[in-house]
Amino acid sequence: MRSKYLFNKLLDPRTENWWMMSGPGPLITLLASYLYFCTSMGPRYMRDRKPYCLKNTIVLYNVSQILISIYLVYEGLVAGWWNDYNFSCQPVDYSDSPKANRMAATVWWYFFAKIVELLDTVFFVLRKKNRQISFLHLYHHTMMPICAWIGVKFLPGGHGTLLGVINSFIHIIMYTYYLISGLGPQYQKLLWWKSHVTTLQLIQFCIIFYHNFTVMFCDCNYPKFINFLLSLNSGAFLYMFGNFYYKNYIVDKRQPAVSSSTVYKEGKEC
């Protein structure tokens, strides 16, 4: 009964008929298939095969990710965060106003982007770069679609959407790095800012943690449980990405990173 109440009474009726929003089943199935393929079926399939040459595919993929990230930043700002939204406390607007619907649609497109980003790991598997599929990488790519799905289903707007705007901005920079890295060894001299990609992600999680944690102690018509979950998740990301940064860029600067969830391994692919 409680589960039925959750999905029938608390959901946003504007988004219930959108793709993947009928219930948690489709997303759970997709993520379970993703994890099974990337940790078991995919590596076994590739064991006796040569790595796939996906250079052109990945270049197109990175360009598409840059474009959708630019779109999400623009829409998130125009629909609320540029002028209308309050950084201290922003409730969800469940009305049918143009801006409220625009933000709801932006949250769904952010969710869609997180689903597409699962291809990051699929490409690792098909290129036999399994050492780059770390726990951090899998956790990040599994949790982000879940958080985005909750946003679309129940809270397509309001305080938590700042996460999507900041994350999409970081992804513009991150996928630009991936794009240059994938063009070939002759572009390595342009990648001096590799460690700064991780630094930006650490700053991102600090902002998101502060933005959600402080709201739990003030009077704001936004679910404090969601603020708690976003703070907890950003804190976990902050710890794991910080640990990655410490091991790869501080402990031994002379050794290249062998496992990364934030940057692709440079070099000639095929």
Structure tokens, 210 = 């502060």
* The token pair that represents 9 in the structure block: 């009474």
CB-CB contact of 208 with 166 (8 Å): yes
Cα–Cα–Cα angle for 107, 111, 114, nearest 5°?
140
In this structure, are residues 179 and 59 in contact, taking their beta carbons and an 8 Å threshold? yes
Cβ neighbour number for residue 42 with a 10 Å cutoff:
20
**Quick check: 233 and 143 in contact, CB under 8 A?**
yes
Q: Is 257 helix (H, G, I), strand (E, B) or coil?
A: coil
Catalytic residue list contains 196: no
Q: How far is CA 4 from CA 10, 11, 17, 146, 155, in A?
A: 10, 11, 17, 19, 18
Tokens of 179: 């794009």
Give the up-direction half-sphere exposure of residue 122: CA atoms within 13 A in the CB hemisphere.
13
Instruction: Let me know: does 164 contact 249? Beta carbons within 8 Å.
Output: no
Residue 29 to residues 8, 17, 108, Cα–Cα distance (Å): 21, 18, 19
Q: Token match 């393929």: residue?
A: 37
Residue 255 CA to residue 247 CA, distance in Å, equals: 10
Report how far apart the first and last C-alpha atoms of the chain are (Å, whole number): 55
Among the listed residues 140, 141, 171, 211, the single catalytic one is 140
Catalytic amino acids? Answer: 140
